[in-house]
Structure 1
Amino acid sequence: MSWTSVARKDFQDARRSRVLWALAVVFLALAAGVASLYAFVPNITAEPEVSTIGLLGFLASPVTLFVAVASVVVCYKSVAGEAESGSGKLLLSLPHTRRDVILGKVVGRGLVLTIPVAVGLVVMLAVVFAGGVPFSPVDYAMFVVVTLFFALAYAAVFVGVSASTTSTTRAATISVLLLVLFELAWDVVPLGAWFVANGFQVPRGVSAGNLGARPDWVAFLFQLPPSGAYQNAIGGFLSGSGSEPFFLTNWFSLIVLTLWALVSLAIGSARYQRTDL
């Protein structure tokens, strides 16, 4: 298949660069450091005893931030860089369609992003065993699978952004703005929507640091960005599902991640099809 050739070449190019190795070292240090804090520093969390679920919950936030930032670094030049340099014309002179290029880039850059994450999570097991943290293979495997799926979804989002422009500067700007929106500024969106829906009044019981009893639709808005969907999915798989509505379940959060990937690629692909290289 043509897209596999694009993915293979894209991954081989990245493997020869310093990006893959730098990401592997950074995530390995991050995973080992966070696991060491949890395993060896007393009272680092409010839990009375250490556990696999506690460790993975402790690890979820730094993993989220690493994957988000690393996906921008790895993916923002994936399509726009070749369009800007002119190598995109050469690529399309081979028996590849533009859809092959985008799909191949997602797979290639996705591997560049997920391999360091997978290696870091596997090596982290040494810290888990050294620290005497009770180990649950099922919970750990579920965390790894959902995390890798999250990384692939974020890679697809930023490959879609890269495919929507022929300028690496614009691709970088849009990617960073989305990163800031998703990771730093998103909480304003559900709170603002709740404020408006409540007649431009602060809902009863809400104060600084206390959201009171949030309506289900507000909770869903908090979980709508890729990072929010990932953390909700992790929390649901590790702690079990309750009586929440279907749109707040862990499985629906995986659907949200899938939609982020597909919609981003659809928009990027539509713009790339019309681009004059």
Structure 2
Amino acid sequence: MSWAHIARKDFADAGRSLTLWVVTGLLILLVAGMTAIPSLLETEEPFGQALYFLFSAVALVIPIVGLLLGYNAVVGERESGSIRFLLGLPNTRRDVVWGKLLGRTAVVVVASVVAFAVGAGVIAWLYDGFVVSDYLALLAFTVVMGLVYLSIAIGVSASVSSRGKAIAGVLGLFVLFDVVWQSVPMGIYYLLEGSWPTLYGEGSLPAWFVLVERLSPGQALSAVAIEIVDVIDVAEIDLTAAGRVAGEVPFYLETWFAGVIVIAWIAVPIAIGYARFSRAVLN
């Protein structure tokens, strides 16, 4: 299994270059800090509030971590010339792409598990209630989110021939789908209805609006997370499809369909990246 060898090497390189330790340290500070906030604010239902703060922080930080870990994964080897060593027998270009994805996913997994273990200690120390299933579900959400954005970044990295192009591609996709995308269904709605929609809490949105929103990887992941993690929203707004859509919730707004979108965001960028990398002429 050549891809496994490349994955092990990539993970070891992350440890030697301090990448693993930097990511772990960052996530420890994030998880411990977010879980301690309800204690400082002396809020009611502190564990649920801690989950909410942690969920919000993870959804903001993990995409950036995944993109930074992945954008240079393949193209960096091409620019340094070490790609020829990686492609020595018996390794193939597919092994390189899969090995890079798995090796850097291992970085996210290890860093997340360590950080959440520290966070669990903070919660046990500060609060009485601790719902293990919700906490572990949030850990799983963190890992899957990291995998999604790693796949996007590594797909871009495998598709291009320079770091500059990789940075531009990753940044462009992030801005489009995580910053600008919300305005797409809003713009369509305004053209159709002549007014701006109420986004949350009133059950007045058409189903197509929420579906277009969920084509964003971050929105699709959040749609899954809010169904499996009992997160208290400090604004007390129903973020589920049932709380936002007028009428019956169609099948394509059910949790499983959001999961299909998440899987597509993992598989499609890697498939495109491998297809382009497999045809690339390496200098």
Q: Could you state the TM-score of these two structures normalised by the residue count of structure 2?
A: 0.87
Between the aligned partners of 1:70 and 1:99, the Cα distance in structure 2 is 24
Alignment of 1:191-270 (within 5 A): 191-196=186-191, 198=192, 201-202=194-195, 206=197, 213-239=204-230, 244-270=249-275
Task: Tell me the residue number matched to 1:273.
Answer: 278
Please list the CA deviations of residues 185-238 of structure 1 after superposition, one character each: whole Å capped at 9, or x if unmatched: 221112122223x16x225xx369998711111112222211111111110112
Quick one: structure 1 residues 123 and 208, their matched pair in 2 at CA, closer, same or farther if it must change by over 3 Å? closer
List 4+ stretches of structure 1 deviating above 6 A: 207-212
Please list the CA deviations of residues 120-140 of structure 1 after superposition, one character each: whole Å capped at 9, or x if unmatched: 112101121122151111111
Matched, 1:91 2:99: no
Q: In structure 2, give the amino acid aligned to 1:13.
A: D
Q: In structure 2, give the amino acid aligned to 1:223.
A: R
Shift of 1:241: 8.8
Between the aligned partners of 2:198 and 2:173, the Cα distance in structure 1 is 28
Quick one: structure 1 residues 266 and 211, their matched pair in 2 at CA, closer, same or farther if it must change by over 3 Å? farther
Greater shift in the superposed pair: 233-242 or 110-119: 233-242
Determine helix, strand or coil for the equivalent of 1:51.
helix
Determine helix, strand or coil for the equivalent of 2:73.
coil
Determine helix, strand or coil for the equivalent of 2:229.
helix
Shift of 1:183: 2.5
Q: In structure 2, give the amino acid aligned to 1:266.
A: A
Q: In structure 1, give the amino acid aligned to 2:47.
A: S
Between the aligned partners of 1:143 and 1:209, the Cα distance in structure 2 is 22
Say which of 140, 143, 165 aligns to 2:160: 165
Task: Tell me the residue number matched to 1:40.
Answer: 40
Between the aligned partners of 2:251 and 2:91, the Cα distance in structure 1 is 41
Between the aligned partners of 1:61 and 1:124, the Cα distance in structure 2 is 15
Please list the CA deviations of residues 15-50 of structure 1 after superposition, one character each: whole Å capped at 9, or x if unmatched: 11122111111111111111111233134xxxx422
Task: Tell me the residue number matched to 2:28.
Answer: 28
Matched, 1:135 2:130: yes
Q: In structure 1, give the amino acid aligned to 2:276.
A: R
Aligned 8 A contact 1:226 1:260 in 2: yes
Which sections of structure 2, spanning at least 5 residues, go unmatched?
A: 231-239, 243-247
Shift of 1:182: 2.7
Aligned 8 A contact 1:39 1:133 in 2: no
Greater shift in the superposed pair: 7-16 or 128-137: 128-137
Shift of 1:244: 3.0
Q: In structure 2, give the amino acid aligned to 1:271.
A: R
Q: In structure 2, give the amino acid aligned to 1:264.
A: P
Q: In structure 2, give the amino acid aligned to 1:31.
A: V
Shift of 1:4: 0.4
Shift of 1:165: 0.6
Matched, 1:77 2:68: no
Determine what percentage of the aligned residue pairs are the same residue: 34
Quick one: structure 1 residues 208 and 122, their matched pair in 2 at CA, closer, same or farther if it must change by over 3 Å? closer
Quick one: structure 1 residues 21 and 40, their matched pair in 2 at CA, closer, same or farther if it must change by over 3 Å? same
Q: In structure 1, give the amino acid aligned to 2:125.
A: A
Task: Tell me the residue number matched to 2:16.
Answer: 16
Between the aligned partners of 1:274 and 1:15, the Cα distance in structure 2 is 31
Q: In structure 1, give the amino acid aligned to 2:205.
A: R
Q: Could you state the TM-score of these two structures normalised by the residue count of structure 1?
A: 0.89
Between the aligned partners of 2:53 and 2:71, the Cα distance in structure 1 is 29
